[in-house]
Amino acid sequence: MDKEILFAFIRTLVALPLVLALAYFVIKYGLARRGFAQNNAGGRRMRVLEQMPLGSKGLLTLVQVGDKYYLLAHSENGVTLVKEYDTLPNSIKDGGTVSDLPDFKQVLQQKFKHYTGRKQDDGAEGDSGRES
């Protein structure tokens, strides 16, 4: 029984370095040729800056290639160039929330005043005594 355990231990000590060496060479040379591993010696020319899902089958991607920026739309039909930018678009505060938007009631009152030329007090004349 002791000989079997010793033989299994020696076999593991021999096999482990071989597997590690094989994994190293596959990653270093095999995957690099297929584009899965990055070789930083030449520098990167392309970078994905941001991605945003559009439902279950769509995706928007902002990509930098050199000094240009491209907004790409991905769908099951392929990839489409949406817009090309010379400079990076401004970032959206608060992660794209709508907290900075004005209240709908205020916007509606302003548009009503603009088109009718009438002035309304904030809620006094336009509500007709009803609450929503």
**Per-residue model confidence as pLDDT tens digits over 5-24:** 999 999 999 999 999 999 98
Phi, psi of 47 (to 5 degrees): -150, 135
Whole-number Å distance between alpha carbons of 6 and 12: 10
**Per-residue model confidence as pLDDT tens digits over 100-116:** 566 778 888 888 888 78
Give the residue ranges of the chain where pLDDT is below 70: 1, 31-43, 93-102, 118-132
Phi, psi of 21 (to 5 degrees): -65, -40
Burial 13-40 (b: 16+ CB within 10 A, else e): eeeeeeeeeeeeeeeeeeeeeeeeeeee
Whole-number Å distance between alpha carbons of 118 and 125: 11
Specify the pLDDT at position 42: 59
Residue whose pair of structure tokens reads 């030449």 in the numeric block: 42
